[in-house]
């Protein structure tokens, strides 16, 4: 149980284009989803928290107009990197939790999406 998928697993795009990353909870309803980015040899940095049906809460320093988050259903959240630049190249990871599950305070992570902006 508690499986989270991400799509695509890897994407390469040109500078200036937009990229959408999907995060799905496959066997539970995710009341809350989180988006992280991770640079090589570094830890996960939380970008934003989204609750189904409401606006995402962004961490300090994260541009909400650049990183658009939509949590339209209890099983799907999307992160769109708009007008991507090479400095946006990173490993993006989502996580999800369902407070109704026993141990629902824990987060279950997707496999990550590696974004490379040329």
Partner 1 sequence: QKEVEQDPGPLSVPEGAIVSLNCTYSNSAFQYFMWYRQYSRKGPELLMYTYSSGNKEDGRFTAQVDKSSKYISLFIRDSQPSDSATYLCAMSDLQGGKLIFGQGTELSVKP
Q: How far apart are CA 29 and CA 10, in angstroms?
A: 25
Tokens read off for 57: 């809460």
Question: Distance between CA 56 and CA 79 in Å, rounded?
Answer: 11
**How many residues belong to the chain?**
118
Tell the smallest beta-carbon distance from residue 16 to partner 1 (Å). Answer: 26
Give 91's strand partners. 38, 114
User: Among residues 7, 13, 29, 32, which is the contact residue for partner 1, using CB under 8 A?
Assistant: 32
Q: Say whether residue 46 binds partner 1 (CB under 8 A).
A: yes
Considering only residues 1, 14, 41, 86, which one is a binding residue for partner 1 as defined by CB under 8 A?
A: 41
Residues between 78 and 107 with contacts to partner 1, criterion CB under 8 A: 91, 93, 95, 97, 99, 103-107
Q: Which is nearer to partner 1, 65 or 105 (CB)?
A: 105
Cα radius of gyration rounded to whole Å, the chain: 14
Q: Residue 48 and residue 82: Cα distance in Å, rounded?
A: 15
Residues that bind partner 1 (CB under 8 A): 4, 6, 32, 34, 41-44, 46, 49, 91, 93, 95, 97, 99, 103-112, 114
């Amino acid at each position: 149980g508690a499986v989270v998928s991400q799509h695509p697993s890897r994407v390469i795009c040109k500078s200036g284009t937009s990229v959408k990353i999907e995060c799905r909870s496959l066997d539970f309803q995710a009341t809350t989803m989180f988006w992280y980015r991770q640079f090589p040899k570094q830890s996960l940095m939380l970008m934003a928290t989204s609750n189904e049906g409401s606006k995402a809460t962004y961490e300090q320093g994260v541009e909400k107009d650049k990183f658009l988050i939509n949590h339209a259903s209890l099983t799907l959240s999307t992160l769109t990197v708009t007008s991507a630049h090479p400095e946006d190249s990173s490993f993006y990871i989502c996580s999800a939790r369902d407070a109704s599950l026993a141990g629902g305070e824990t987060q279950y992570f997707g496999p990550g999406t590696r974004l490379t902006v040329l």
